[in-house]
A = this chain, B = another copy of it.
Amino acid sequence: MTNTTLKLLAQQLQLSISTVSRALKDHPDISAKTKAKVNALAQSMDYEPNAYAIQLRMQSSKIFGVIVPAISNLFYDSFIAAVEEESRRNGYALMILQSSHNPENELNNLKIFRQNRVSGVFACLSTSAENLDVYHKMNEREIPVVFFDIVPKDNTFTKVRMADERCGVIAAENIIKRNAKKVLAIFGDPGLSISQNRKISFQNFMHNFSPKTHVNYINANSSNEAEEIFKKHYSKAVKFDTVFCMTDEILIGVMKAIQALQIKVPAEVGVISISNGFIPNLYHPVISYVETSGFQLGKLAFVQMMANMQTGKTVNELTVDATFIEGGSM
């Protein structure tokens, strides 16, 4: 069965296509009687306007593109959920593609976006250092790009991200408050600016406010690695009394080690992490964490997108602030 079109409706009603079109949009030129007839038939033939024809005519698509490294991810999926929610409220649909941390995929995805004339794109870089030509071209074409999470250094772009520095500081504050003597701090991929920001701010704060607290700084790229690191360091003579986990991945590894070693939290070891809250709530006691919400970031990104579309080109870097969520692990 073929789709209902304006032409079909027009034929049935012995009206012109334009009249039908205007009637459907409640145009003042059309009489109430005609409008009623048109609407009735449209309803019964369940007419749905062809979005493609509309876009072709209107030159605007009501679709946003979203690129994430992976959809199946605690952080990104909540980001997507937020953007989807807002988009739908504003009459937009989403086209979501994943880069799998591969710049080549990212390029292909952008091509698809351009072919579909998306009204804007939310992009998370697949790697930190990357060729940004495509994005510059998008800007030239007046397709707003809002970068999130992993963003380029280039300041000609609009970016939103978590307040990573604040995260580091807040974590450090709470560690100091606990009166920690020796802490194990595990950070993520040192190649990412996120890691850098969090680490440096953490380090500075620690150093200034509690210079005598001994901190071991280590990097881990997987939860397994974090688990091993924890076990290795915990076997030393002078045990650390606090562990700081920069990511959920790291926290997972650490918690496995803690359970395996049957360590009491927070009595023997205090645990603090940076997270959106899902993982910390899986344990008893609930792990205290500095909240970085993908959901909030999504909301912010959307606001920026809309601002960009209206004001032409507001270039900006906005951050969503971090807050400390008290669990029972400190």
Point out the residue from B88, B115, B283 that lies within 8 Å of A256, measured CB to CB: B283
Q: Is A48 part of the contact surface with B, judged by Cβ < 8 Å?
A: yes
**Could you tell me if B116 and A51 are in contact, using CB atoms closer than 8 angstroms?**
yes
Docked pose: A48 CA to B110 CA in angstroms = 11
Copies in the complex: 2
Q: Is A260 part of the contact surface with B, judged by Cβ < 8 Å?
A: yes
Chain B residue with the shortest CB-CB distance to A257: B284
Contact with B along A106-121 (1 / 0, CB 8 A): 0010011011110000
Kindly provide the distance from the CB of A48 to the nearest chain B CB, expressed in whole angstroms.
Answer: 5
**A112 neighbours in B (Cβ, 8 Å):** 93
Chain B residue with the shortest CB-CB distance to A66: B96
**Could you tell me if B93 and A116 are in contact, using CB atoms closer than 8 angstroms?**
yes
Q: Contacts A52-B55, A96-B96 given; indicate if A78 touches B72 (C-beta within 8 A).
A: yes
Residues of A bordering B, CB below 8 Å: 1, 3, 46, 48-53, 55-56, 61, 63, 70-73, 77-78, 80-81, 84-85, 88, 93-98, 105, 108, 111-112, 114-117, 137, 140-142, 252, 255-257, 259-260, 279, 282-284, 295
Q: Which 5 A-B pairs have CB atoms at the shortest separation, nearest pair first? A: A259-B284, A72-B77, A260-B284, A72-B81, A51-B115
